[in-house]
């Protein structure tokens, strides 16, 4: 504890106030909010799988990677090497 910290501790004690703010109260989400979150996560997984399948199909058909990347709105390297969160399978396309 440095000189500055000790000074703050002494000042807080003299003023009769707590040294740090009370911990934040965690308010659990409503069950409907949690159900909505689970639904959104499931839809995100479905979309990621559909995108992976479409990319696989286009790549197998000979579509160029620059064209695929442009359709995805990313660079080729971004899709193949650094999949976005939720895009679990994208990294497997690297060859």
Residues whose CB is less than 8 angstroms from the CB of residue 89 and which lie 6 or more positions away in sequence, other chains included: 48, 49, 52, 83
Spatial distance between the Cα atoms of 37 and 1, rounded to a whole number of angstroms: 43
**pTM score above 0.85:** no
Confidence (pLDDT) at 21: 63
Average pLDDT, the chain: 76
Spatial distance between the Cα atoms of 57 and 53, rounded to a whole number of angstroms: 6
Closest to 1 in 3D by CA, of 80, 34, 10, 27 = 10
Has residue 39 got a pLDDT over 90?
A: yes
Give the domain ranges of the chain.
45-95
Confidence (pLDDT) at 94: 40
């Amino acid at each position: 504890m440095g000189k500055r910290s000790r000074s703050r501790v002494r000042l807080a004690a003299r003023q009769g106030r707590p040294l740090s703010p009370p911990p934040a109260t965690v308010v659990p989400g409503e069950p409907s909010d949690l159900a909505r979150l689970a639904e959104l996560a499931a839809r995100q997984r479905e979309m990621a799988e559909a995108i992976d399948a479409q990319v696989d199909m286009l790549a197998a058909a000979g579509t160029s990677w620059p064209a695929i990347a442009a359709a995805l709105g990313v660079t080729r390297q971004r899709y193949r090497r650094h999949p976005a969160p939720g895009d679990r399978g994208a990294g497997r396309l690297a060859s």
